[in-house]
Chains A and B, each alone.
Chain A
């Protein structure tokens, strides 16, 4: 045992104070006696000073409490082997729901964990963490098998993709001490090499599946045609299969499109729609070999027209001219140097101003220009994963007049980088804030030549900004612009209704764990948003990709046999409290017993608490003067 704070023992100096208090109480205590006459001959000589402290059980209890309190303040610790803690990662990603009912992967995982739970030692604590979403299933590590069983029964696979490595990291971070063992139950393939302390139970098996992995509800940006709906279907099986793509609106079948999907093939299929179709359309894929249901249904919102009007606002005529020249190349696009006349018409804003008009645009392309900047050749590096980077080569040299991102540098995700004087600087940032998409470009269109990559980037930006805000993916937050303060109810696809307090402004709903339509209502206003699954990695049950990372080993293996300090302060303080309670109880009991013991027969009057305590403890005293009395 060690003392973390030995100076705490200085509190032992209070022991003499306790003794002194008892002495003081003994000497200053006034005891009324019936008479001092019997002791008169004793009183004639001075009393001998007592050298022995007269105490009772109360004193010993107080002394013990004082000593324990001093010891507690010294913070003693005992070095002991840690109780075993197992971090259990339960894969709850959408792919775990594959398979029929009790034969599904998740039910197998649940059965396996229950069996492990039955064999678990009583001291071993489990900490359950789910992967999708990453959340703890028990508030803290517990060895209570019943609580763990209840937690396992309550959990079910979500419609989200999962990441085992992230879940392990989060689980370890939430544990106060590193876990002795990490048990992972997943449908992902077993990692090739596992460090000590890890155990992975793989419950997955290769399954054929067909899924809709993409949906494009936009038409041509520059064309006058109406909106089109393009669905991307993929066959995750080793054999070709005939599938059927159907579109329905409010329960009414719009179309059915037969599909022939080759093995492992991905195919983009136009969904046949009536010319005047608009609003929410549900697209469903039916295939004979299909193990996962969640990736077969999608929801798309169709606008009456493909593109939004564009307002170009600038104080610089050259800027307006350059943008106008670009926009005029797209015949189907309507634009003006002022806001659209209809007050409720959605529009896009292209500007070089910092301020935004009171009428909130759907999206903004903001050019951060720099005065008198001349064009220079720049090496463009493009992040190809972003929609704005479509049709752009990863690396290209572009002659453009550079601007400065300034304060906007931290907002959004860099899509295009420029290399200038050996340094990499962001040229285009794309981000979303409060339900509004914003593209910030550090380029001056007026001072730049009409380079093809620059124009493509601009139109890609417009196309991205015109993307439907009504449709998102599971796990992404849904945003509704400008709801007044009050209570907002959200009806989820699983039927649950959540009521949330809203303080005004943009309303965000983050718990999109289920694919489907979410109805957000406040007062008489109802807004519908959809979260689609659209995850080819999760849909691929034939060749499951692993989200495991080999560097997860170190954290748990190092702590396996460590001896940890166990602080005894809490225990000692509880003991102090118990002793003080005992002392209090004893004190009261003595007072009560004095009253009851001395209520002699026939006496109605209550007896005061003073005196006679000793007699109460010994009701049969030895006789006095008995010989004379006889």
Chain B
């Protein structure tokens, strides 16, 4: 059982003042919210005309247009839906290193963002990017679901490896991703091509994707501690004799992250990085608002 001592009343009060920024909503399931979408719905906001077809509600026929064009058209209205927020937390083995704090920080961010969503009456769901059976919580809708959200993280441990794009395809189908916002919390220790494919999967499902990269300083500057020895990849078990200069190592990490960031920029995906060694508040109150995640 994880401690929730970090989730203080002060922090909750601070979270109450925030809300998730939403650029667009193109699809969704939960009707009755405040985000209109271009789908025939029952709101008062006019969307378009469409030719009359048998079975259409004759009350929607625009008789004025019929008088001018002598053809039947029905008025369509935008549908207003609730925003679905998919919090996708990377739970592969790489999240457990170099310290367990990294995964803890990822969970804390997910819980905090989830609560911000709940406070704004969004539908929030937590999903774990982990090998094996797809794991996700139910959708939470109310503020009071905060502790259910916390409980949902209780038994999750980082382990194993997977191909991110494959998991995303499976999850999109099984968890019925459609519309809303997906916040991917990961360390980015994934091949760029895999990451790109996974992002495309989500975008095809009309999800507004946002990426939060959780990294430790050691991972950002490996040359400081990788002085020699045998490097062991915790996910794959691959080993390699380290024989590179600190500058080469730092450059390699920077280039890898640069690919991810450039991809996100090109596709309008918000990208933020939270460093484990920084306080959680710094990430929530400074980094994420500055990157457009929160407002």
Contacts and interface: CB of A to CB of B under 8 A. Distances in A.
Contacts of A496: none
A31 B253 CA distance: 17
A35 B187 CA distance: 10
Interface stretch (A45-53, A148-156, A228-236, A290-298): A45-53
B198 interface: no
Interface string B189-221: 111000000000000000000000000111111
Interface string A537-562: 00000000000000000000000000
A525 interface: no
A32 B276 CA distance: 18
Q: What is the interface residue range for chain A against chain B?
A: 35 or more
B220 A621 contact: yes
Contacts of B276: 598, 600
B229 A600 contact: no
B262 to A, nearest CB: 7
Contact of B254 (A610, A612, A624): A624
A57 to B, nearest CB: 13
Contacts of A615: 216-218, 221, 224-225, 277
Given A600-B277, A621-B217, A624-B220, A35 B253 contact: no
User: Which of A35, A599, A600 lies at the interface centre, i.e. has the most chain B CB atoms within 10 A of its CB?
Assistant: A35
B94 interface: yes
B215 to A, nearest CB: 9
A612 B104 contact: no
Interface stretch (A22-30, A78-86, A132-140): A22-30
Contacts of A612: 98-99, 216-218, 225
Interface in B98-132: 98-102, 104-105, 108
Contacts of A611: 98-99, 218, 225
Interface string A35-78: 11111111100011110001000000000000000000000000
A30 B234 contact: no
Nearest to A46: B243
A34 B256 contact: no
Contacts of B233: 33, 35-37
Given A28-B230, A37-B191, A625-B257, A604 B243 contact: no
Interface string B231-264: 1111110111111100011101111111001100
A603 B6 contact: yes
Contacts of A27: 228-230, 241
Interface stretch (B78-86, B138-146, B172-180, B265-273): B265-273
B243 A598 contact: no
Interface residues of B, number: 72
Contact of A619 (B6, B229, B241, B277): B277
A366 to B, nearest CB: 90
A36 B273 contact: no
A605 interface: yes
B256 A37 contact: yes
Contacts of A48: 243-244
B2 interface: yes
A532 B189 CA distance: 102
B105 A600 contact: yes
Contact of B231 (A31, A607, A618, A619): A31
B69 interface: no
B198 to A, nearest CB: 14
A598 B252 contact: no
Contact of B232 (A32, A47, A50, A628): A32
B258 A614 contact: no
Nearest to A35: B189
Given A34-B97, A35-B189, A36-B231, A602 B241 contact: no
B37 to A, nearest CB: 31
A608 interface: yes
Contacts of B250: 624
B41 to A, nearest CB: 38
Given A34-B187, A608-B99, A628-B262, A50 B104 contact: no
Contacts of A618: 224
Contact of B265 (A26, A38, A624, A628): A628
Contacts of B252: 38-39, 41-42
B101 A39 contact: no
Nearest to B219: A34
B280 interface: yes
Contacts of A28: 229-230
A623 to B, nearest CB: 9
A612 B221 CA distance: 10
Contact of B256 (A30, A38, A621): A38
A547 to B, nearest CB: 77
A607 B98 CA distance: 10
A501 interface: no
A30 B228 contact: no
A372 interface: no
B34 interface: no
A613 interface: yes
Contacts of A622: 221
Interface of A: 26-43, 47-50, 54, 598-605, 607-608, 610-615, 618-619, 621-622, 624-625, 628-629
Interface of B: 2-3, 5-7, 93-102, 104-105, 108, 187, 189-191, 216-222, 224-236, 238-244, 248-250, 252-258, 261-262, 265, 271-273, 276-281, 291
**8 A-B pairs closest in CB distance:** A602-B6, A47-B243, A614-B224, A29-B229, A35-B189, A26-B228, A34-B94, A604-B3
Given A598-B99, A622-B221, 15 more contacts: A29-B228, A30-B230, A33-B232, A34-B234, A34-B235, A41-B255, A42-B248, A602-B6, A604-B5, A608-B100, A619-B217, A619-B277, A624-B250, A625-B261, A625-B273
22 contacts: A28-B229, A29-B229, A30-B230, A33-B234, A35-B233, A36-B233, A37-B256, A38-B256, A39-B244, A47-B240, A598-B99, A602-B5, A604-B5, A611-B99, A615-B216, A615-B225, A624-B254, A624-B257, A625-B273, A628-B261, A629-B273, A629-B291
